[in-house]
Amino acid sequence: MPQDPAERRVVVTGPHRRVLPHARLRSRGRYPNASGYYRPRTEIDEQTTLGHTYVRSLMRTQLRAALGVFAVLVLLVGPLPLVFSAMPYAHRLEWAVLGFCLYAPLVLLARWYVRRAERNERDLVRLVEDR
């Protein structure tokens, strides 16, 4: 007598999750019901949805910093043509502003952006490495 297909047993499997002994010990305090701890680095390496979320979060913070720098740059450099056109006979002022006065704020802005980008990356590494 054949078995009914609705009564047949089905084995459900999922991706293999590596659990390191030290990670399991660490996870008992945070997730007492969990049998192991699945590290965020593994999520990124295996390109899961959670790993994609981590990477998107980093990209979003980097984009936010870049747009902030771009906005300050536009506010700093954008009005210069209007200022120069308002004073047509001040050629020495133009060269002084373009040659000397503009470089210090640009260097400070670039330095701020690099430090911010490195801090964002360090925060992600700290999250992924679980430190």
pLDDT tens digits for range 87-129: 888 888 888 888 888 999 999 999 999 999 999 999 888 887 7
Cα angle 21, 25, 28; round to 5: 135
pLDDT tens digits for range 44-102: 666 777 777 778 888 999 999 999 999 999 999 999 989 888 988 888 888 888 888 89
- 83: containing domain: 5-129
Least confident stretch, 10-19, 20-29, 81-90: 20-29
Q: Helix 103-129 to helix 49-77 angle, to the nearest 10 degrees?
A: 170
Sign of CA dihedral 124, 125, 128, 129: negative
Q: How many domains is the chain partitioned into structurally?
A: 1
Residue in 79, 15, 13 with CA at minimum distance from that of residue 46 = 15
pTM, two decimals, is 0.61
